Amino acid sequence: MQKKQLLHRGHRIENVNNREDGWSAVIEGRTITHKLSLVKKSIDWWYEMNTFMPPEKFESIVSKKQPQQLTMDYKGFKLRNDTGYPNDWYVMAGTRLLKGHADAIKRHIDAALQRSASR
């Protein structure tokens, strides 16, 4: 079995058993083993904070659910929501940024389209 190796900020990271969580490195004399992304975070933390932080500490942060980015098309306008909360929709309408609940934004767009059609 061939072991995989790579360098990250001067640290050698190896995976001998070809498992996703089998990446290991040595930081300040301590051997850490975990997923590659978490081992890299530990190395980054060491360089940026000069403090050892085991990869397990980052696991709970990484595994937290990221907000789902939502988009919807409405009459040629693309409404977006980056947080998933119902009142966090926004859209650029011309030079104006409209923010709020999707239904309120749709009503505003409808009124603006109706005004422009009656001109």
**Number of other residues whose CB lies within 10 A of the CB of residue 84:** 12
pLDDT at 67 over 90: no
Over residues 36-55, the pLDDT tens digits come to: 999 999 999 998 888 999 99
Q: Where are the domains of the chain?
A: 4-63, 70-117
Over residues 15-38, the pLDDT tens digits come to: 978 888 899 999 999 999 999 999
CB pairs under 8 A, 24+ apart, for 79-83?
79/105, 79/106
pLDDT at 63 over 60: no
Positive/negative CA dihedral, 15, 20, 22, 24: positive
Per DSSP, the three-state class of 85 is: coil
Whether the CB-CB separation of 77 and 91 falls below 8 Å is answered with: yes
Tokens of 103: 């239904």
